[in-house]
Amino acid sequence: MDIVEEKIKTLRPNIKDSSLYAYTNALSRIHRGMKEETDFKDLNFIYKYDETMEYLSKHKNNTIKNMLIPITIILEGINTNEAKILLARYNDVIDKLRFKINDDITDNVKSEKQSNNWATKNEIYKVVRDLKKEAEVAFNKESPTSKDLDKIQQYILAYLYSGKDIKPLRNDYANMKIVRTGLIIDLDDNMNYLILNKGKPYFLINNYKTSNRYGTMRLSVKTKELKSALMNYIDKLGDEQDYLFLNHQKGNPISENGLTKFIAKTFMRKINKQLTPSLLRAIYISNLDFGKLTYKQKNKIAQEMGHSFDTQQKHYLKLDTEK
């Protein structure tokens, strides 16, 4: 862990690894974007308010807000008048951005980017069917290549994010481990797993954005199609492979950012639309007929997707969606 990560971890002891990485990466991006000659680890650039805001002005509101948050965390730990004044200025910007973002969200209107990449449920299902055909060719090979395994992975991930079985998660399948046999009491609470469970697989999601609030999620695989695909894929990976989804060319487990790019690239190849996990979650929710669901059913859907009912209705639900 480097100096910057240590500073953030000291100030936020319970921070998740994914958030720690995101905050450190945001600070690094700002430092590079400002073309600072000072050492990044000194973090002196955060005192240059005008230059920081000028660089961030090129980004969208939500990105600006997210990139300012680690700056405020660092400033909270500095007990000087200059730091306190700067902290107040940055927090004021964040508050204004939150109001603006919330106004946009509560209108339940798609952004321009969402509109340009929006797909119908039928389009998504067709992608899954097409990818299944490609995967079947790879499944039939005795010794699949890395490209073959990549095709199978595209199919399984598209299936997972289509909502045909498990409701679409965030990028929680990144760095996911496989548990083939043995006791699950020894598992790391900071990791996510696919538990094979003697042919009745389920996902154990410990580490996700709102896990501090909602706890561990156990999501059973229900459809025969997904069960079969997962079991055959894992068989092709071999007994020595601990991770479920990989960069098959390099052999490394796929990261959160890598997973988002992988899914977007998969759908771009098939329907020329950049569908990310977040957008696929919005599409899934927007295609539900909420008028026929009870509050209990709506809340259960929110819990299975790892967010609150309020977030579901305000952030993900988009109007005028073609079913």
Residue-by-residue DSSP string for 208-230: STTHHHH--EEEE---HHHHHHH
Can you give the pLDDT at residue 299? 76
Contact between residue 318 and residue 109 where contact means Cβ atoms under 8 Å apart: yes
**Pick from 161, 152, 141: nearest CA to 233:** 152
Q: Which two tokens stand for residue 178?
A: 């496989």
Residue 80 carries which side chain, given as an amino acid letter?
Answer: T
pLDDT digits (tens, 9 = 90+) for 127-139: 999 999 999 999 9
Higher pLDDT, 102 or 227: 227
The label of the residue with tokens 């000087």 reads: 80
> Tens digits of per-residue pLDDT, 231-289?
999 999 999 999 999 999 898 999 998 999 999 999 999 999 999 999 999 899 888 87
Q: Would the CA dihedral through 216, 24, 176, 317 be positive or negative?
A: positive
For 295: left if phi > 0, alpha if psi spans -120 to 50, otherwise beta; the answer is alpha
- Tokens 């990466």, located at residue: 25
Tokens of 127: 């992608």
pLDDT band at residue 106 using 50, 70 and 90 as cut-offs? low
State the Cα–Cα distance between residues 114 and 248, nearest whole angstrom.
30
Task: Give pLDDT, residue 317.
Answer: 61
Neighbours of 312 (CB within 10 A): 21
Give Cβ neighbours of residue 189 (< 8 Å, ≥ 6 apart): 206, 207, 216
Q: Is pLDDT larger for residue 66 or for residue 98?
A: 66
The predicted pLDDT at position 318 comes to: 62
- Contact between 73 and 12 (Cβ < 8 Å): yes
